[in-house]
Chains A and B, each alone.
Chain A
């Protein structure tokens, strides 16, 4: 009986793995310049809240696409929570679909690319995806490669990021505070002190969450390499650096002095609180117009100012992308649609704003006003769909939003480390070691980063446990890979 069961179990496992890999089909050679004779329906999954009136958008889209690429599109919107679970199961089950959203943080772009769930786009950049490839440019496209191949088309938007303050404008004006003068948390302290004393409504003038605006988020590393090139541009144990320790100490100091809320470890309403005017300033990853987007529903006015130089990071290429499924029956057609979506303003705006006159009213060439309750608007999800520079803006947007984003992209530094991706770990011992290191970081870093525990004893313990978990041998591996990577790039 036991044996039979074991065999059964093995078979099921093997079967599910086989199914996960799916069959690899080569794209039929379709001339990208002609309209194909057969119609093909593209099953498209988007990460967005469900829309009531998808049907009329699909209808308009299908009519337009008929003479271009002879395809119809079925738009399926899944909210973020459902999205990763549902699409993950679909991929594991080898279920058919054509196109979907993926990112390094959402549908495990890297892992699924390596396991062959996504269609390899590399060889089609000069044919089906020619136009968008030229727009994005080779250098930025490199950030999306996995082991030298491209499995997804990044959404063209702000490709860089910078850290900076978002703060309440009226309070800054009231006390004549020039926030651009303050480049670190330490320098900001007197301002916080003053506001805590003078503004009874702002008991906790600054706020942060883990990975979002705490002092340690200024200690920026990717794969343990500092993005600003310090430490000779070599991998180091981030948590053993003096920069990290200082950041934790400042967080602890602010916590003890009551500049940050006492329940910061468990709180999740940082943005809501700030929106209600209870917080003066937060450190945030910025792009032009971020304060406006984040607090568009607030009755207060907010401003932003950058404190680090804008730079491309690993999120540039893998933060938001559209991938073609390996189960697609006609990848060529799907890629042609993807190309249109990213280069044809009519297609993109149809998907994002809906049908003119039904879902939005046009105000001028570049601006539209959504009709309330029309049942369709994906404008807030545009960053997950395609080239945002094609979008019509809303009246409340800054009219120069796109120019600003473009400038931001051009000014951004492009550190080599942004395209550096560690190889897949196959050695079980090393896998175990990496898991242990990740668990250790998870157990200690949050409290330390947020300032919720004393730095000295906890950091010491943290480093000891990291040592035991094998951080040195991990760093050695990263160093070797990094050296090889630098030689080749």
Chain B
């Protein structure tokens, strides 16, 4: 008992330290975004702003249509993309979990093969632009990451271990179709697994910036992360490229301040933080079950 208590205290201390480590950068970002530029140049970063200022937030919301539009795109991608991808993943994983599915082996090979080998960036780029003509289309940010082989494997294992065969058979006995079994029997008892995958997918869509980088030229379709990424990368380009800096003197004068960059980081981070608690109650269960492989 006493040893247990000691261990408990030690664990508490350990996890407190870890939590602080996680929180610190976020707080620092917040503090930088709320500091005046002058104090940043003078004192560097501080966990409590030396000179309080909301200049940075004013700056990024100056052209608020741009930010709000990007917000809209990101939310659309996260919600629509998250929902559709979970549906696709679950509908593929379920048959693979059933031992009586005849095409199980070839299908598994097929999807595992694409996980290990892919066409590379140029081939992907060419098929998306010349075959599907998805460039400058909002779906280009959704369709390419809709299927994730790894999550299919996790889901399959979840169905296999978490759904008793008896339930499926009882459905069959009552004359339910396969789809009805899946929707009314299997899904309700698999919520933890589905929620876990949903969370991962929503996060993926929320943080996606590489697809707009390659396929979006129309500024109306920029998403939030891409806007952020762009701002940071433009600055990096100038700093790493003295030849560029030499040419673009006028552009250099217009670089957003450190505060503005951090403010945008914070704005981009906000909503996804809020969604976390909703998923959390399923999260632990979903992960543990999903991690047991055959």
CA distance A161 to B243 in the complex (A): 11
Q: Which 3 residue pairs spanning A and B have beta carbons closest together?
A: A81-B233, A50-B219, A211-B242
| A294 x B253 contact (CB < 8 A) | yes
What sequence of 0s and 1s flags, for each residue 226-260 of chain B, a beta carbon within 8 Å of any chain A beta carbon? 00011001111111011111111111111101100
| A290 x B249 contact (CB < 8 A) | yes
A211 closest partner in B (C-beta): B242
What are 25 sample pairs from A and B whose C-beta atoms fall under 8 A apart? A12-B119, A12-B120, A52-B66, A52-B219, A79-B233, A80-B233, A86-B217, A93-B122, A93-B126, A94-B126, A95-B129, A105-B243, A268-B235, A272-B37, A272-B41, A272-B257, A272-B258, A275-B253, A276-B38, A276-B41, A294-B249, A315-B246, A315-B247, A319-B247, A373-B63
In addition to A12-B123, A93-B129, 11 A-B residue pairs with Cβ atoms within 8 Å of each other are A16-B120, A51-B219, A52-B219, A80-B233, A80-B234, A90-B125, A103-B247, A209-B239, A276-B41, A294-B249, A298-B253
Chain B residues within 8 Å of A106, by CB: 241, 244
Chain A residues within 8 Å of B251, by CB: 380-381
Residue from B217, B241, B244, B246 with most neighbouring chain A CB atoms (10 Å): B246
The one of B66, B122, B213 that contacts A92, using a Cβ cutoff of 8 Å: B122
Q: Contacts A50-B222, A105-B241, A272-B257; is A85 near B214 (CB within 8 Å)? A: yes
A379 closest partner in B (C-beta): B250
Chain B residues within 8 Å of A290, by CB: 249
Q: Which B residues are closer than 8 A to A by beta carbons?
A: 37-38, 41-42, 63, 66, 117, 119-123, 125-126, 129-130, 213-214, 217, 219, 222, 229-230, 233-239, 241-255, 257-258
Dominant SS among interface residues on chain A: mixed
B136 closest partner in A (C-beta): A76
| B235 x A212 contact (CB < 8 A) | no
Chain B residues within 8 Å of A320, by CB: 247
Closest chain-B Cβ to A370's Cβ sits at a distance in Å of: 13
Chain A residues within 8 Å of B253, by CB: 271, 275, 293-298
Closest chain-B Cβ to A215's Cβ sits at a distance in Å of: 15
A106 closest partner in B (C-beta): B244
Chain B residues within 8 Å of A76, by CB: 217
Interface size class of A (residues with CB under 8 A): 35 or more
| A89 x B125 contact (CB < 8 A) | yes
What sequence of 0s and 1s flags, for each residue 281-300 of chain A, a beta carbon within 8 Å of any chain B beta carbon? 00001000010011111100
Chain B residues within 8 Å of A278, by CB: 41-42
Closest chain-B Cβ to A235's Cβ sits at a distance in Å of: 21
A268 closest partner in B (C-beta): B239
| A85 x B249 contact (CB < 8 A) | no
A9 closest partner in B (C-beta): B117
What sequence of 0s and 1s flags, for each residue 1-42 of chain A, a beta carbon within 8 Å of any chain B beta carbon? 000010000001000100100000000000000000000000
Chain A residues within 8 Å of B121, by CB: 89
CA distance A418 to B65 in the complex (A): 46
CA distance A211 to B240 in the complex (A): 9
Chain B residues within 8 Å of A64, by CB: none
Chain B residues within 8 Å of A161, by CB: 246
Closest chain-A Cβ to B237's Cβ sits at a distance in Å of: 5
| A80 x B237 contact (CB < 8 A) | yes
Chain B residues within 8 Å of A103, by CB: 243, 247
Closest chain-B Cβ to A19's Cβ sits at a distance in Å of: 7
Chain B residues within 8 Å of A212, by CB: 242, 245-246
| A210 x B230 contact (CB < 8 A) | no
| B214 x A19 contact (CB < 8 A) | no
Closest chain-B Cβ to A285's Cβ sits at a distance in Å of: 5
| A293 x B249 contact (CB < 8 A) | yes
Closest chain-B Cβ to A348's Cβ sits at a distance in Å of: 16
Residue from A79, A86, A210, A320 with most neighbouring chain B CB atoms (10 Å): A79
CA distance A308 to B51 in the complex (A): 41
CA distance A103 to B244 in the complex (A): 9
Chain A residues within 8 Å of B250, by CB: 293-294, 296, 379-380, 383
CA distance A49 to B248 in the complex (A): 13
| A81 x B243 contact (CB < 8 A) | no
Residue from B241, B251, B257 with most neighbouring chain A CB atoms (10 Å): B251
Q: Contacts A12-B120, A276-B38; is A95 near B130 (CB within 8 Å)? A: yes
CA distance A105 to B234 in the complex (A): 14
Chain B residues within 8 Å of A351, by CB: none
Tell me whether A265 is interfacial, beta carbon within 8 Å: no
